[in-house]
Chain A
């Protein structure tokens, strides 16, 4: 297949996405997205839907734009001055990038979990209570206690930390820290959770726990997850999107992507020829 090596043989400028990028019950829908860092284009004309209560995995080699795309979905890229975004992002009917769309309110609906666990240097309780507090979601201390407890329970951390809620969040193990960050995110009650390689800094056992958690969370939340590990994508997601050099190459049911990819670039990636 050497002479047909997709990296060499194909001109990727004219690629169009193959497979099924759209969803009937779209929670979020992105159309014709282009993202630039200063003069460099990081995302080329990507369209994708995330269905309600669906887990969509985004995979692809390093620098393919999957994380950039994810961060655009709750406007985290607003903090980067040189970043310019074109295209249409919708959360249900609301235009995410509409001038009247409030970014704070948006992030309350679309939460994000980062690559490296980043608990605040506060107590476990305060970490989880932070979001509800800034948004004014709890009307009383009991309310807040309840939110903290349910969030920690749902993040599967409650039993491990219930006796030391006042201990520093930074004192937990890496896996626990990441689950704390997930608890912190769901405490705000978002509709969508974005996860940016949430397990890349964790050991296999902690990773397994987070993966279990994702499966449970998908009952209640819509989840988009960027991952480096194809196995993880295969385990947790219903649909998988393959990015390559800023383009969305293929979106299909996860099973299909990993057993019978439509596009040869996808095939090249999942068979480990580059990545």
Chain B
């Protein structure tokens, strides 16, 4: 570097500059590598959490899609059922079918002598089994006084035991089962009198205190009605508000105030909306608790800011040249909006709205406030029937002590996630279509 001597000022610095730079280089590159590693670690941490969360839910919940059934020889004994006229539907309806199950159980396991032992024995079969028997007799009255083999719903303790058993008896989760009950179940297993079938009950019935009879249909219907109310209210209002703010609103204090309000509302905790619903809709307007109508109203207010914000973004993305072109042809402002702006921004608005609705579908806290936590067995038929929703059902079940409810909770979560993922995927597809257009 001697040839640099012709540069008087640089001379003082240059030789030392490169030495200094080179001296520090290794250290600086180590810092660079470390920094990059932190970034990768952060991402891996996030992804790992996602994977752990999903595998945990699936591993806990997948077994709920199968349900244990027990094969029993049941005699439709007319005397036990107290049916003297097979053509009388009343008699068939009120007959005591659980007595048939009990008789069949006693017949198979004669070692159940004491009252307590017998009660344990009867406990192995779900009390839902009698409905199955009634239905089959209603369908086919000729069964009366016949003996047939039927697959009956097992109790949740049996279900848990059988599912956790695997090949080795020692692995099984015994729980509340007494040794004698375990012995009986083992007899069934040896006789191949027990098997797992697809759990249709889970998808076709409402809530129940008995895990083996509990299903999510009621909660799904409740979610559907609640979401319907939310969609019908929040989408048109949200779009209208967005149109006003983007196309009409003058730049003044009122508009600023509305904007600030909307942005703030979007970040207000959801439980506050629950308090609003409780105080206004239930306290002031005296609506009933647990209604999808009220839930939908609350969720609409909660979703509205999200929809307004995304709709505004969609309207903003319509090029001004299109408005100018329409205005130049003599169209009025309303015509420009209805004929051009709205159709062009609709995919964007729908994308934002669907994401908002997915959030509403997964929301729990505000619905707890307005009483959608009640234990409701019946499947709601409309927006004014008391009901619960899927996330609240998950919350309720997760609190239940029975082990069989854990797998059902996880299964319900899987169903909920499936809905959410479908909705979000749809939104993403819509967004991609939109992006291709401009």
| Chain A residues within 8 Å of B, Cβ to Cβ | 52-53, 102, 104-105, 108-109, 134-137, 154, 188-189, 191, 219-221
B405 to chain A, nearest CB (A): 52
B53 at the interface (CB under 8 A from A): no
A-B pairs with the 6 shortest C-beta distances?
A: A189-B13, A136-B24, A189-B17, A220-B9, A108-B21, A220-B10
- Interchain CB contact (< 8 A) of A220 among B8, B20, B23: B8
The answer on a CB contact under 8 Å between A189 and B28 is: no
Considering the chains assembled together, what is the distance between the CA atoms of A154 and B25 in angstroms? 27
Complex contacts, A220 vs chain B, CB 8 Å: 7-10
The answer on a CB contact under 8 Å between B24 and A221 is: no
Complex contacts, B4 vs chain A, CB 8 Å: 191
The answer on a CB contact under 8 Å between B25 and A221 is: no
Complex contacts, B14 vs chain A, CB 8 Å: 189, 191
A51 to chain B, nearest CB (A): 12
The answer on a CB contact under 8 Å between B25 and A137 is: no
The answer on a CB contact under 8 Å between B23 and A105 is: no
Considering the chains assembled together, what is the distance between the CA atoms of A109 and B15 in angstroms? 11
The answer on a CB contact under 8 Å between B21 and A104 is: yes
A266 to chain B, nearest CB (A): 32
Which secondary structure dominates chain B's binding surface?
A: helix
Given contacts A104-B28, A108-B18, A109-B18, contact A136 B10 (CB under 8 A): no
Q: Mark B2-43, 1 if CB is under 8 A from A, else 0.
A: 011011111001101110111111001000000000000000
The answer on a CB contact under 8 Å between A154 and B20 is: no
Q: Name 16 interchain pairs, CB-CB below 8 A, sorted by A.
A: A53-B6, A104-B21, A104-B28, A105-B22, A134-B28, A135-B17, A135-B20, A135-B21, A136-B21, A136-B23, A136-B24, A154-B9, A189-B14, A220-B7, A220-B8, A221-B10
Considering the chains assembled together, what is the distance between the CA atoms of A102 and B23 in angstroms? 13
Considering the chains assembled together, what is the distance between the CA atoms of A103 and B359 in angstroms? 48
Considering the chains assembled together, what is the distance between the CA atoms of A102 and B21 in angstroms? 11
Complex contacts, B13 vs chain A, CB 8 Å: 189
Given contacts A135-B20, A189-B14, contact A104 B6 (CB under 8 A): no
Complex contacts, A104 vs chain B, CB 8 Å: 21, 25, 28
- Which residue in chain B gives the minimum CB-CB distance to A25? B3
Considering the chains assembled together, what is the distance between the CA atoms of A265 and B326 in angstroms? 46
The answer on a CB contact under 8 Å between A105 and B21 is: yes
A150 to chain B, nearest CB (A): 8
A138 to chain B, nearest CB (A): 9
- Interchain CB contact (< 8 A) of B24 among A52, A53, A135, A154: A135
The answer on a CB contact under 8 Å between A102 and B10 is: no
- Which residue in chain B gives the minimum CB-CB distance to A191? B14
Complex contacts, A52 vs chain B, CB 8 Å: 3, 6
Considering the chains assembled together, what is the distance between the CA atoms of A104 and B25 in angstroms? 8
Complex contacts, A53 vs chain B, CB 8 Å: 6-7
Complex contacts, B21 vs chain A, CB 8 Å: 104-105, 108, 135-137
- Which residue in chain B gives the minimum CB-CB distance to A221? B10
- Given contacts A136-B23, A191-B14, list 14 more A-B pairs with CB under 8 A: A102-B25, A105-B22, A108-B21, A109-B17, A109-B18, A135-B20, A137-B16, A137-B21, A188-B17, A189-B13, A191-B4, A219-B7, A220-B9, A221-B10
Complex contacts, B25 vs chain A, CB 8 Å: 102, 104-105
Considering the chains assembled together, what is the distance between the CA atoms of A188 and B10 in angstroms? 10
Considering the chains assembled together, what is the distance between the CA atoms of A53 and B217 in angstroms? 83
- Which residue in chain A gives the minimum CB-CB distance to B22? A105
Considering the chains assembled together, what is the distance between the CA atoms of A104 and B30 in angstroms? 13
- Which residue in chain A gives the minimum CB-CB distance to B24? A136
Complex contacts, B8 vs chain A, CB 8 Å: 220
B3 to chain A, nearest CB (A): 8
The answer on a CB contact under 8 Å between B17 and A108 is: yes
A242 to chain B, nearest CB (A): 28
Complex contacts, B18 vs chain A, CB 8 Å: 105, 108-109
Considering the chains assembled together, what is the distance between the CA atoms of A189 and B9 in angstroms? 9
Complex contacts, B9 vs chain A, CB 8 Å: 154, 219-220
Complex contacts, A105 vs chain B, CB 8 Å: 18, 21-22, 25
- Which residue in chain A gives the minimum CB-CB distance to B12? A189
Considering the chains assembled together, what is the distance between the CA atoms of A145 and B17 in angstroms? 16
Considering the chains assembled together, what is the distance between the CA atoms of A265 and B302 in angstroms? 67
A156 to chain B, nearest CB (A): 14
- Which residue in chain A gives the minimum CB-CB distance to B19? A137
A221 to chain B, nearest CB (A): 7
Considering the chains assembled together, what is the distance between the CA atoms of A123 and B16 in angstroms? 27
A190 to chain B, nearest CB (A): 8
- Which residue in chain B gives the minimum CB-CB distance to A135? B21
- Which residue in chain A gives the minimum CB-CB distance to B8? A220
Complex contacts, B28 vs chain A, CB 8 Å: 104, 134
Considering the chains assembled together, what is the distance between the CA atoms of A63 and B130 in angstroms? 84
- Interchain CB contact (< 8 A) of B10 among A108, A137, A191: A191
B26 to chain A, nearest CB (A): 10
Considering the chains assembled together, what is the distance between the CA atoms of A104 and B4 in angstroms? 21
Considering the chains assembled together, what is the distance between the CA atoms of A108 and B19 in angstroms? 11
A218 to chain B, nearest CB (A): 11
The answer on a CB contact under 8 Å between B10 and A189 is: yes
A265 to chain B, nearest CB (A): 36
